[in-house]
Amino acid sequence: MKKLRVGVAGLGRLGRVHAANLAFRIPNAELTAACTVTGTGVDYAKDELGVQDVYTDYRRMLAEADIDAVAIVTASADHCEQIGLALDAGKHVFCEKPMGVDLAQCKRAEAAVERHPGQTFMLGFMRRYDKSYAYAKQKIDAGAIGVPYLVKCTAMDPASAAADFIRYAKAGGSGGIFLDLGIHDMDLMRWYLGSEATEAHAMGATFRHPEFRQAGDDETGVVTYRFANGAMGMMHIGRIGPHGYHVETEIVGTEGIIRISAVPEKNLAQLYNTNGVCTECVQSFQERFADAYLAEMEEFVSCALGGRQPGVSVYDGTRSTQMGFAAVESWRTGGIVKIG
């Protein structure tokens, strides 16, 4: 069997998920190299992944490693430059969201993809590969809810991980809560509504951890969007989910409604005791979307080996990032921001 040889760049919270999938769970992929700028990442690659070809310089990995493709899971501000370097070096590219943290960067990434039409490029909007989200899309396309006219989203990271997210906000480079956390819902709104956003109105608040504000970010955000076809989007994002990692999406149509993960159950078990009926909830994005991260990487490997392009394109990356920029600008200025 022909295998795709992949080098992973970034071995942090999500890089380790992708690296482990490539190393152990995808038969037609081989993790042959890794690049990380932290010492613990080097040890992890060698000891846990069994990858001995480890770099601390991304350009060196591209130049020297025995790889056909890269998986970019580094800080968001570096993605677009790393996409261009990898494509110009002849590699297929999988890149995590958000594609970039400014529009000029995204346009440069588009140009790099257009320079290399024979190489596969995929952006990591894994929710499209989650079984429930994909099922909702099939139902909508089959007309099950009539004309979809409203997408309502909630995405809350768990309060138990707030210290990590404060550190993340202070480090900068994530684009802030709207781009970092809201980007998945922005992509889903476009996908389900089949239309592009034309204006955004956002606001934010911080009630529990002032450190978010001090870092120039916010703890909670709300955005409403108008779309070109008249449809609407409502998004609530936050860093202090009291019960765990809460991701919920509702698509409202003229003939029906689809709800996904209204209660983010860990499993189907319920505990009946003096507190009532308790259902444990998932506690992290790694837990909730484990299958989706695997499915999207399987699709990337299959596309690269088969000379195909996946359903998520570089233009999806730019469009959703534009929605994120508009939300950030509206949050800063308080006004409605048009999306050109």
- Number of residues interacting with ligand NAD: please give it, by CB under 6 A: 24
Which pair of tokens denotes residue 327?
């939300």
Could you say which of 75, 112, 155, 202 contacts ligand NAD (CB under 6 A)? 75
Which pair of tokens denotes residue 99?
């594609």
Query: Which residues, 88 to 107, sit near ligand NAD by CB under 6 A?
Result: 96-97
Could you say which of 26, 31, 32, 41 contacts ligand NAD (CB under 6 A)? 41
- Letters for 179-218 (x = contact with ligand NAD by CB under 6 A, - = none) are -x--------------------------------------
Query: Which residues, 310 to 339, sit near ligand NAD by CB under 6 A?
Result: none
153 lies in the binding site for ligand NAD (CB under 6 A): no
State the nearest-atom distance from the C-beta of 274 to ligand NAD, in Å: 37
Which pair of tokens denotes residue 148?
């979809």
Q: How far apart are CA 279 and CA 293, in angstroms?
A: 24
Query: Which residues, 231 to 290, sit near ligand NAD by CB under 6 A?
Result: 285
Q: How far apart are the first and last CA of the chain?
A: 46
Q: What are 92's strand-pairing partners?
A: 69
* The CA-based dihedral angle spanning residues 17, 22, 24, 28, taken in that order and rounded to the nearest 10 degrees: 150
Could you say which of 22, 62, 101, 126 contacts ligand NAD (CB under 6 A)? 126
- Interface region with ligand NAD, contact rule CB under 6 A, candidates 33-41, 252-260, 273-281, 327-335: 33-41
124 lies in the binding site for ligand NAD (CB under 6 A): yes
15 lies in the binding site for ligand NAD (CB under 6 A): yes
Q: What are phi and psi of 262, to 5 degrees?
A: -60, -35
Could you say which of 4, 19, 30, 58 contacts ligand NAD (CB under 6 A)? 58
- Interface region with ligand NAD, contact rule CB under 6 A, candidates 36-44, 100-108, 186-194, 321-329: 36-44
- Interface region with ligand NAD, contact rule CB under 6 A, candidates 13-21, 146-154, 235-243, 307-315: 13-21
Helix or strand run (H / E) with residue 15: helix 15-20
Number of CB atoms found within 10 A of residue 280's CB: 14
C-alpha distances (whole Å) from 272 to each of 6, 162, 245, 275 are 47, 29, 22, 8
Q: What are 33's strand-pairing partners?
A: 7
Q: What are 236's strand-pairing partners?
A: 154, 222
Helix or strand run (H / E) with residue 252: strand 246-253
Query: Applying CB under 6 A, which residues contact ligand NAD?
Result: 9-15, 35-38, 41, 58, 73-76, 78, 96-97, 124, 126, 180, 285
